[in-house]
Amino acid sequence: MENPRMIAFAQTAKTIIKQLERRNMEGYFCETSADAVELVRKLVPAGASIAWGGTQTFGETGVKSMLEAGDYRMFDRSKATTPEQTHETILQQLASDCFFMSANAITRKGELVNIDGNSNRLACLLYGPREVFVLVGMNKVVEDVDAGIKRIHTMACPPNAARLHTDTPCERTGTCGNCHEPGCMCCNVVVTRHSRETGRIKVILIAEDLGF
């Protein structure tokens, strides 16, 4: 018997991918993380420089492990031991061949909705890396931008705050406090509604619950 959940996901993804094309972005649908790994393996050329922003999905899917084991140059800021090294790695990431991230939410109309604190992730989405791969679990699909921001405040920020120990209201109470505290994760809100460079942004929709 066919899986009704998978059928629905595939139809939703088809709708979103059509909208992404209208916005000059490429869209793909994978039923599993393993399928996404194989898709990325085909899309990323050997020898490419690889970078990524703060993303649980990159690791959860197995894409990160596959790239680390392959013939690629990895710009990993977690290996930096000083602020200067961290800054230098982020600058390298801006000039990378392939940048990996997730989206905090994606609308049915194909808009990417993201909120960030440090914002190096959003900087690379907007400009710099030759290609941007956005790995998105179907749990992040929302109706519109307002729903996306609400999802981020209620579903993404609290667990991220707990993971990063930001000592912000969303960590202390589990609810966004619209704060201006030092650890604020909502410094910049970015809605990507169109890409000037055809195919630079590649959105891979995965029929799993991934990330926050």
pTM: 0.94
DSSP code per residue over 115-158: EESS-HHHHHHHSSSSEEEEEEEGGGEESSHHHHHHHIIIIIHH
- With tokens 């990431």, the residue in question is 93
pLDDT of residue 160: 87
How would residue 1 be classed by pLDDT, with cut points 50, 70 and 90? very low
Mean pLDDT score, 48-59: 96
Flag whether pLDDT at 83 surpasses 60. Answer: yes
Residues 116-139: tens digit of each pLDDT: 998 999 999 999 999 999 999 999
Residue 16 corresponds to which tokens in the numbers above? 């979103």
Q: What is the pLDDT of residue 55?
A: 94
Provide the token pair at 139: 């749990």
pLDDT of residue 164: 87
- Quote the percentage of the chain above a pLDDT of 90: 87
Report pLDDT for 176. Answer: 87
